[in-house]
Amino acid sequence: MRNLILISIILFLFGCADNTNKVKELQSEVNALNAQNDSLKKLVNIMKPGLGELMLGLQVHHNKLWFAGREENWPLAQFEYDEIMEIVQQAEAIETNRPEVKLFKPMLYSHLDSIQKAIKGRDVHDFTEKFYSLTNACNNCHKNTHFEFNKIQTPERTPFSNQDFSTDNN
């Protein structure tokens, strides 16, 4: 009986020593994963666009949306609307604490919804009216966030000489 107890104690001690090594190995793996995670967080912060870059993207698609709608190229207008929505949603996901972005829902979404309805209705007159309202909403947002010096207007010409906005497929 005594030998059985002694053997049990010895096996228990060997088991503890083995667990200690496993704990050390796991802790080493956790440390390596934490270091990798920190490195990835830094990389994401470096690579994510700032609000200025996102707003520039909005301005580009605002311009293209105007010419697509004016030319009654509704598939292109829908595409540009979708691009605007994608950027707005990206800004909301990235810049969660920015006051400018917090104003998107109360100041921008209803105008974007109106543009969407005009596109779906293929109504150039309604589109034009809603586009002016959207542009005014952009400027009102800029005023409310002290960026009134950044005034948006209905485009007079496209900077994209390499794109045909007409519906002519020839």
- At residue 68, the pLDDT reads 97
- At 76 the pLDDT is 97
Residue 18 in this model has a pLDDT that exceeds 90: no
Structure tokens at 74: 């509704």
* CB-CB contact of 90 with 54 (8 Å): yes
Q: Which residues contact 10 (CB under 8 A, 6 or more apart)?
A: none
Predicted confidence band of residue 28 (pLDDT cuts 50, 70, 90): confident
Alpha carbon distance, N-terminus to C-terminus of the chain: 98
Three-state secondary structure readout of 8-61: HHHHHHHHHHHHHHHHHHHHHHHHHHHHHHHHHHHHHHHHCCCHHHHHHHHHHH
Q: According to the model, what pLDDT value does residue 32 have?
A: 78
Q: How far apart are CA 127 and CA 135, in angstroms?
A: 12
* pLDDT score for 11: 54
